[in-house]
Every structure is written in C-alpha cells, then in structure tokens.
Amino acid sequence: MALQGSLAELSLPDVIQLVAVSGKSGAFHLERGTEKGVIYLHEGRIVDATVGELVGEHAVYEMAIWSDGEFVFTPGEAPPQVSIQKSNANLMMEAARRLDEWRVLSRKIPSLDRVPYFPERTSHRDQVTLSPQEWVLVTRIDGERSIEEIAKVLRWSAFDVSKLLFGMITSGLVALRNKNESQGGESFAGGLSAVTLLGLAEKIRSMALQVIGESGQRTIESQYREARTRIERGEGLEAIREIVAQHSRAISLLKGADMAAMFDEQVQPLLGETQSSTAGQGA
C-alpha cells in the first residue's frame, strides 16, 4: 500500500526517515503546485532524486525546504540511475540545516511565487557592491519573473537564489511583490539606476584589466571613462554592451583572439541574456 500525506503536516526529512529505517525500496513522488519531484530509495538508502533541472543531492535539499505540497511513496519503484553517494544521515543533516536557514530567509521571502524588482532608490543609498553571483542574479531580475522562475532560468536551486536575494532585500536594493501587483520600480531590462549600471561597468573594467595586463591599461581606462559618460547620459544597457565589445576588441588586438574569447566567457554570466547580442560585436 502506498504511503501518502501532506508536507504541511510532516516535513520531508521526517517522512523519508520513517521509510528509510524500515529498509524499503521505492520512490517518493512529491507535488507542490505545478512542481513535481521524485526521490528514490534502495533498501532504505536514498540513491537518486530529481526536481526541475536539479538532480541528485541538490534536488533532495530543494524539496526538503518545501513547507507544503503532497507526497506519495510507491514501494518497489526502481531508480533510473544512481546520482547520490552520500549517506542518508549526511543528506538529512544538510537538509535539516537548510530547513532551519530557510525559516530565517522566509522572514523576508514568504513565498517563492513573489516577484523581485528594483524599487526606487535615493542617491545616497544607491551605491552597489555585489559579488559575481549576485551580478548574475541581478541581470535576471526583470520585474516579471518570480523567484522560482528565476531559479529555473539560472538552473540554480530556489534556496540559493533566495539566499542571495535575502541580502539584497535587507539592503533595499531589491523588493518583492505579488504577481498581481504593480512593481513600482525598475526592471533590469528597462534600466537599472545609473549608479547600479556604473557598478556593473566597474566590474567589467576590472575583469578586462586582469586579462589584458599593464600593456592595455590605458586603453581599458579610456573605454571605461567613455562608458561612464554614456551611462550618465542615460544610455543604460547599451553603454554596457558597448564597453564589453570595446574591451573585447582591445584584448583581441593586444593579447590575441583566445584571450578575448576568455574575457567574453568570463563576462557572459554577468550580462546573462543581454550578452547574446554583444558577443558578435566583440568578435
């Protein structure tokens, strides 16, 4: 007989523990809204898991933070692969840690259906210093996608996206709204504030200098100053695309096409979808 129930009443780590101690083999099928995942056990040991784009232990961790949804355990269902090598104890320990951390994150992120957007910011609060991962996330915030949708686009776990967003929300860079609410701020595609774009240009400049070295420093600095002027004139992302193209050309001339390709590859995650139109210019 299949075991089934609600994750609102019993957390996933507890549910798995109940079945694992009996040494059973089979599959947990989980559903939360439109999301579906599965965790396979072989003789009580977790051996495979998938949810969305995530496979293996990261899929287990992702589903472990679900506070609602339904589960069904089907005995005897064999796994299609073995993607997990960790012991149940290690998996559940990490899952429990993430669940505790998620309780903290949920104070500012009550639901993964919320849509992040950039609120209006006063100039004295608009200084932006972000890590490379945060810049990647920033380029995917368009005021339309939910946290869950952004995670799917990036192929990251919603937990990892939420951890990055937590700091941005705390600092006031990002706010959240419900899907049916107007955002009242700017999307990245529509144009971040000038100071935010200047921060991105500075990041790209630093990456170019690391690749090109002292021989091209004067050229990179000149291109960077031009980009700053264009951003301050309100040209937005077009100025960012142009500085990437200019840096790439300079690196190609001074260091060769291979080094230019390496720079393009390093910059691409920062620009995300906007980089596709830039790559051709930098060739």
- Enter the DSSP assignment of 77: P
Q: Are residues 135 and 166 in the same domain?
A: yes
Strands 26-32 and 70-75, bridge-based pairing: antiparallel
User: Per residue in 202-247, pLDDT tens?
Assistant: 888 888 888 898 888 889 988 888 888 888 777 777 888 888 889 9
Does 49 map to a domain?
yes
Structure-block tokens of residue 222: 């000149």
Flag whether pLDDT at 126 surpasses 60: no
User: Is the domain of 207 the same as that of 121?
Assistant: no
Q: Is position 131 within any domain?
A: yes
Any idea what the CATH number is for the domain that residue 145 is in?
A: 1.10.10
What average pLDDT does range 166-182 have in this prediction? 81
Q: What's this model's pTM, rounded to 2 decimal places? A: 0.58
Q: Looking at the predicted structure, is the pLDDT value of residue 273 above 50?
A: no
Q: Can you give the C-alpha Rg of the chain in angstroms?
A: 23
- 80 pLDDT tier (thresholds 50, 70, 90): very high
pLDDT of residue 182: 57
- Stretch 258-273: mean pLDDT, rounded? 78
Angle value at C-alpha 163, between 151 and 106, nearest 5 degrees: 100
Same domain, 228 and 278: yes
- Percent of the residues in the chain that have a pLDDT greater than 90, as a whole number: 18
The mean predicted confidence, pLDDT, of the chain is 81
Assess if residue 177 is contained within a domain.
yes
Number of structural domains the chain divides into: 3
For the chain, give the number of residues.
283
Domain that holds residue 134: 115-186
Q: Which of 8-22, 77-91, 227-241 has the highest mean pLDDT?
A: 77-91
Residue where a domain terminates, one of 70, 105, 140: 105
